């Protein structure tokens, strides 16, 4: 009813991809210079994205290897793709999410069998509708070679790693055994799934290891993963599962969930009998709770590094999972300069199609002017202070409106105008989005305006992190 | 009846014309030969006569009118009628009433002691000139201070021209109303009132913002802004209307207070009834002024975060609303 109609049935659509938004905290245009700043950052990020774009081309001269006269052992030869496909085709199925009232599918994804009892692994984001709105959605599987869909039930989910286990009523004979063994970087991998509902497909690509400094562990697969392949397996040539297709940034940059998390989830799921919808929601909540606790610990354990910005010290790169960017747009026309420094986890957790969480991001803007008087500078400074970072995506069904408290605060002798804002999650009580906004007020024609966004934290943890962050502000001159 | 009586031509309850009758007989009709002429097309040229009988009683007699003569209470056609005080008679579309000379009248209304009319401050040419200068100055200053980019001469020109144009058009509208209702334009007076209202709309929010920032006032400030806006609107309307209507000032004041409050309440009814729309916006005052304007004490960080405990309860309460 209140839910927006989705685009094509693409479980793995551009909007599903956390790392594809390089600077989600970058501000909307407004003071004029902002749009160009954003474009610059975008260009910078595209040019040096978290994972350097490497040519996925085959490094080994193996194109015609079987015919080559060189004495190569059989095991080292790449297996014929068609053989692999034929061998495991039956283990991969299409997941359809059925909207009850229309009685037809509202989105699709892929899944693969992992137990004789009919358990299959897919992505959480493929089945999120069934978790969040169990009264409106059900799931079914379409097996290869049989046109009749089979109803499935949702057994367990891992929202943080974007995984889910579903189970079919009937046992299966052919399934993958999940083992956790990391292939060498550059190994040839094969992603399977049902891209854009075109039928089961196998795609070749290269393994490129763990994404460095990621907040949520992901593998980098250099190959084409397309919408609809979400939840499908990515295999070695021998048919061993390495990861689960989860997201793409386009241009052959794909992301996989390491198989380790699927193994852990399956081990848990095998012990479960039935999970009622409320129990699943509670589990999602507990996982989000654990995740924010882990994040809070990680941040609070680390010392908050200081970053010099004008005459001020501001919080710098607090943790390796934060990616930081900075810039000063140079416009000779304007009588002031604004320097940006922003850090963001650049990743988030998919809760539902319109709701993301698990974000840490902050932005400092140092404004200074030689030409403006104190009153005109304060107009500029107010305009900066009036712009908020983009809110983490959520709708009325997911969160409340923000409520704020603002005061003058004395941060170690530095007077600051600070505001703390909170909004509560409706389906996950105890979790909040927290925003801290602050502007220094010690000088007439310079200052630092800063904003911190924390999505999916308890109020206490949010306050704890925000306090440490605010205390990271100081003035050196 | 008396020797001298009055014939009153009524229009609704009000008296349209009064004729003193002292020599009888008196003829009434549309024709110019009559003593009392009625301009009513349904009245005959010779319609009725009023005669004194020998015993002194006054008689009204229809003299063969086309549409007849009627007694009003009770309604009945008549050829002849003995006149008593307050008798009412209908001829055509006109109602006539007869009253003796000794008819009692209401007591005199006791009014306030009249004073010499003093010119109001808005009517003085100097007020208008000063207000206009202040308005242009305030508008220019606002345009200059709120622009932190390069000096934009076009924008500054607009800051001068726009309030002037608005004020002249506004005063024009009111003075036309004055002319219609009171036969005088009062253009300069209306222009002075309009200028003061515009000046207030620039200066009052700026002052409130300044006070809000200095004292770190938070939540109530938009409400105070709105009240100030309503007050200014009510004040402007009151003085404009003083030059348009002849209403008693106290009555006008009461009406305007009610109108302003009803308008204010209706335009905020949605918020008060709890229909808060979903928004991702953060609602807190954004104005920052130079540090010298800060009067409120800066809180220790500890206190600030303790104070935010109430926020959690507020948003938790929101989750329970649907």
d(CA B197, CA B132): 11
Helix (H, G, I), strand (E, B) or coil at B195: helix
> Is A62 a residue whose pLDDT tops 70?
no
pLDDT of residue A394: 93
Alpha carbon of B142: minimum distance to chain A alpha carbons (Å): 10
Q: Which residues pair with A412 in a beta bridge?
A: none
Phi and psi at residue A203, to the nearest 5°: -125, 135
Q: Which of B140, B274, B280 to mutate to test the interface with A (most CBs of A within 10 A)?
A: B280
What is the C-alpha to C-alpha distance for residues B101 and B51, in angstroms, rounded to an integer?
17
* Selected residue of B301, B302, B313, B316 to mutate for chain A interface (largest A Cβ count, 10 A): B301
For residues B24 and A298, give the distance between their C-alpha atoms in angstroms, rounded to a whole number.
116
The interface predicted TM-score of the complex, written ipTM, equals 0.76
A/B interface, count of CB pairs below 8 Å: 156
Q: Does A356 touch chain B (CB under 8 A)?
A: no
Report, as an integer, the average pLDDT of A194-207: 88
Neighbours of B13 (CB within 10 A): 5
Residue among A56, A45, A47 at smallest CA distance from A19: A45
Cβ distance A380 to B148 less than 8 Å, yes or no, reads yes
Instruction: Please compute the mean of the pLDDT values over residues A30-49 and round it to a whole number.
Output: 38
Q: Which of residues 68-97 of A touch B (CB under 8 A)?
A: none
Q: CA-CA distance, A79 to A84, in Å (whole number)?
A: 7
**For residue B148, which residues of chain A lie inside 8 Å, CB to CB?**
335-336, 369, 372, 376-377, 379-380, 383
Contact: B145, A375; criterion CB under 8 Å: yes
Q: Helices (DSSP H) in chain B: which residue ranges?
A: 125-145, 153-182, 187-214, 221-242, 249-272, 301-307, 309-320
Interchain contact B307–A (C-beta under 8 A): yes
Chain A residues in contact with B291 by the CB 8 A cut-off are 415, 441-444
Q: Kindly report the nearest CA distance between residue A458 and chain B, in angstroms.
A: 10
pLDDT at B149: 87
Phi, then psi, of A366 in degrees rounded to 5 = -100, 120
In contact, A358 and A295? CB cutoff 8 Å: yes
The reply to whether A221 touches chain B by the CB within 8 Å rule is no
Exposed / middle / buried, residue A384 (Cβ in 10 Å: 0-12, 13-18, 19+): buried
pLDDT in the model for residue B273: 81
Kind plus residue range of the DSSP H or E element containing A411: strand A403-411
Look at B284 and A382 and tell me if their CB atoms are within 8 Å. no
Nearest CA distance, A374 vs chain B (angstrom): 6
Task: Encode pLDDT of A125-173 as tens digits.
Answer: 999 999 999 999 999 999 887 888 999 999 999 999 999 999 998 899 8
pLDDT tier, A293 (very low <50, low <70, confident <90, very high otherwise): very high
Say yes or no to pLDDT of B103 above 70. Answer: yes
Inter-chain contact A407–B216, Cβ cutoff 8 Å? yes
Minimum-distance CB partner of A415 among B278, B291, B316: B291
Proportion of chain A above pLDDT 70, given as a percent = 83
pLDDT digits (tens, 9 = 90+) for A142-154: 988 788 899 999 9
Q: Which residue among B282, B294, B318 places its CB closest to the CB of A404?
A: B282
**Distance separating alpha carbons of residues A60 and A44, to the nearest angstrom:** 32
Residue A321 buriedness (CB in 10 A; 0-12 / 13-18 / 19+):
buried
The beta-carbon neighbor of B301 closest among A333, A386, A411 is A411
Whether residue B74 is preceded by a cis peptide bond, meaning omega within 30 degrees of 0, is yes
Distance CA B219, CA B234 (A): 24
B14 CB-near residues (< 8 Å, 6+ apart):
none
CB pair distance less than 8 Å for B145 and A426: no
At residue B304, the 3 state secondary structure works out as: helix
Q: What does the DSSP 8-state code read for residue B255? A: H
Question: Taking a contact as any Cβ pair under 8 Å apart, which residues of chain A between 400 and 419 contact chain B?
Answer: 400-411, 415-419
B87-91 sheet: strands from edge to edge: B14-21, B5-11, B94-100, B87-91, B69-71, B76-78
Interchain contact B295–A (C-beta under 8 A): no
Min distance B196 CA to chain A CA atoms (Å): 25
Record: contact B305-A432, CB cut-off 8 A: no
| Partner B, chain A 20-39, Cβ-Cβ below 8 Å | 32
**What are the residues whose beta carbons fall under 8 Å from the beta carbon of A148, sequence distance 6 or more?**
none
Between B241 and A273, name the one with better pLDDT: B241
Write the Ramachandran bin of B83: left for phi over 0, alpha for psi from -120 to 50, otherwise beta. beta
Partner A contacted by B148 (CB < 8 A): yes
**Whether the predicted model's global pTM rises above the 0.95 cut:** no
* Residue A36 near residue A329, CB atoms below 8 Å: yes
CB pair distance less than 8 Å for A385 and B286: yes
B320 touches chain A (CB under 8 A): no
Closest CA to A339 of A369, A318, A299, A305: A369
pLDDT band with cut points at 50, 70 and 90 for residue B1:
low
pLDDT at residue A47 tops 80:
no
Residues present in chain B in total: 322
**Which of B149, B220, B306, B320 would best serve as a mutation to test chain A binding (most A beta carbons within 10 A)?**
B149
Mean pLDDT of chain A: 83
HEC string of A106-149? EEEEEEEECCCCCEEEECHHHHHHHHHCCCCEEEEEEECCCCCC
Task: Say if residue A337 is exposed, middle or buried (CB neighbours under 10 Å; 0-12, 13-18, 19+).
Answer: middle
Cβ contacts of A374 on chain B, cutoff 8 Å: 290, 292
For residue A464, give the 3-state DSSP assignment: helix
Look at residue B11 and tell me whether its pLDDT is greater than 90.
no
Residues 6 or more apart from B243 whose CB is under 8 A from it? B174, B178, B182, B186, B189, B190
The pLDDT of residue A78 is 57
Per-range mean pLDDT, top range of A130-134, A249-253, B71-75: A130-134
* pLDDT > 90? residue A52: no
């Amino acid at each position: 009813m209140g839910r927006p109609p989705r685009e094509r049935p693409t479980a793995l659509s551009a909007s599903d991809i956390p790392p594809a938004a390089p600077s989600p905290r970058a501000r909307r245009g407004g003071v004029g210079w902002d749009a160009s700043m954003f474009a610059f950052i975008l260009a910078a990020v595209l040019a040096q994205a978290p994972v350097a774009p490497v040519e996925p081309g085959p490094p080994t001269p193996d194109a015609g290897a079987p015919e080559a006269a060189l004495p190569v052992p059989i095991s080292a030869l790449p297996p014929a793709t068609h053989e692999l496909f034929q061998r495991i085709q039956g283990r991969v199925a299409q997941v359809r999410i059925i909207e009850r009232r229309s009685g037809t599918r509202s989105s699709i994804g892929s899944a693969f069998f992992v137990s004789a009892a009919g358990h299959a692994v897919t992505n959480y984001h493929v089945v999120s509708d069934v978790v969040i709105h169990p009264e409106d959605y059900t799931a079914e599987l379409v097996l290869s070679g049989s046109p009749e869909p089979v109803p499935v039930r949702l057994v367990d989910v891992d929202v943080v790693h974007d995984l889910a286990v579903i189970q079919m009523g009937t046992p299966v004979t052919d399934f993958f055994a999940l083992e956790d063994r990391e292939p060498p970087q550059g190994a040839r991998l094969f992603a399977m799934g049902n891209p854009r509902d075109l039928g089961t497909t196998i795609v070749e690509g290269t393994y490129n290891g763990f994404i460095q400094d990621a907040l949520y562990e992901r593998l980098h697969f250099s190959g084409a993963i397309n919408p609809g392949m979400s939840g499908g397996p990515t295999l070695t040539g021998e048919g061993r599962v390495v990861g689960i297709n989860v997201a793409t940034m386009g241009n052959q940059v794909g992301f996989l969930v390491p198989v380790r998390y699927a193994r852990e989830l399956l081990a848990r799921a095998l012990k479960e009998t039935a999970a009622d919808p409320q129990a699943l929601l509670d589990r999602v909540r507990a996982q989000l709770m654990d995740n924010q606790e882990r994040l809070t610990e990680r941040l609070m354990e680390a010392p908050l590094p200081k970053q010099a910005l004008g005459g001020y010290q501001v919080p710098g790169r607090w943790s390796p999972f934060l990616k930081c960017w900075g810039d000063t747009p140079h416009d000779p026309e304007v009588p002031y300069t604004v320097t940006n420094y922003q850090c963001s986890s650049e990743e988030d957790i998919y809760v539902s199609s319109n709701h993301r969480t698990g974000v840490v991001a902050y932005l400092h803007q140092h404004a200074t002017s030689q030409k403006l008087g104190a009153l005109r500078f304060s107009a500029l400074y107010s305009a900066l202070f009036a712009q908020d970072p983009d809110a983490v995506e959520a709708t009325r069904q997911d969160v409340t409106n923000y409520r704020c408290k603002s005061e003058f605060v004395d941060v170690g002798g530095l007077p600051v105008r600070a505001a703390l804002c909170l909004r509560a999650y409706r389906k996950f009580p105890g979790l909040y989005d927290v925003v801290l906004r602050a502007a220094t007020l010690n000088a007439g024609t310079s200052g630092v305006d800063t904003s911190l966004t924390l999505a999916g934290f308890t109020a206490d943890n949010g306050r704890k992190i925000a306090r440490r962050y605010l205390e990271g502000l100081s003035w050196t001159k | 009846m008396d020797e001298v009586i009055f014939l009153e031509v009524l229009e609704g309850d009000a008296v349209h014309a009064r004729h003193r009758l002292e020599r009888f007989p008196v003829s009434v009709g549309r024709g110019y030969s009559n003593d009392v002429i009625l301009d009513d097309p349904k009245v005959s040229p010779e319609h009725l006569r009023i005669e004194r009988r020998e015993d002194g009683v006054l008689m009204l007699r229809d003299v063969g009118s086309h549409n007849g003569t009627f007694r009003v209470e009770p309604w009945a056609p008549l050829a002849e009628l003995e006149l008593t005080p307050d008798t009412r008679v209908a001829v055509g579309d006109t109602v006539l009433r007869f009253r003796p000379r000794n008819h009692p009248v209401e007591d005199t209304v006791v009014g306030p002691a009249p004073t010499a009319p003093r010119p109001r401050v808005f009517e003085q040419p100097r007020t208008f000139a000063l207000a206009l200068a202040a308005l242009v100055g305030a508008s220019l200053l606002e345009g200059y201070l709120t622009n932190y980019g390069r000096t934009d001469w076009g924008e500054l020109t607009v800051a001068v021209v726009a309030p002037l144009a608005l004020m002249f058009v506004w005063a024009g509208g009111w003075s036309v109303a004055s002319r219609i209702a009171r036969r005088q334009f009062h253009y300069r007076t209306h222009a002075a009132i309009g200028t003061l209202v515009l000046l207030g709309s620039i200066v009052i929010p700026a002052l409130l913002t300044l006070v809000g920032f200095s004292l770190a006032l938070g939540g109530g400030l938009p409400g105070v802004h709105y009240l100030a806006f309503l007050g200014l609107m009510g004040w402007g309307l009151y003085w404009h209307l003083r030059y348009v209507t002849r209403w008693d000032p106290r009555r006008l004041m009461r009406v305007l207070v009610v109108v302003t409050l009803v308008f204010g309440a209706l335009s905020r009814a949605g918020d008060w009834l709890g229909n808060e729309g979903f928004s991702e916006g953060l609602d807190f005052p954004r104005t920052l002024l130079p540090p010298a304007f800060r009067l409120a004490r800066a809180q220790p960080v500890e206190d600030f975060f303790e104070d935010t405990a109430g926020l959690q309860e507020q948003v938790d309460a929101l989750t329970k609303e649907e």
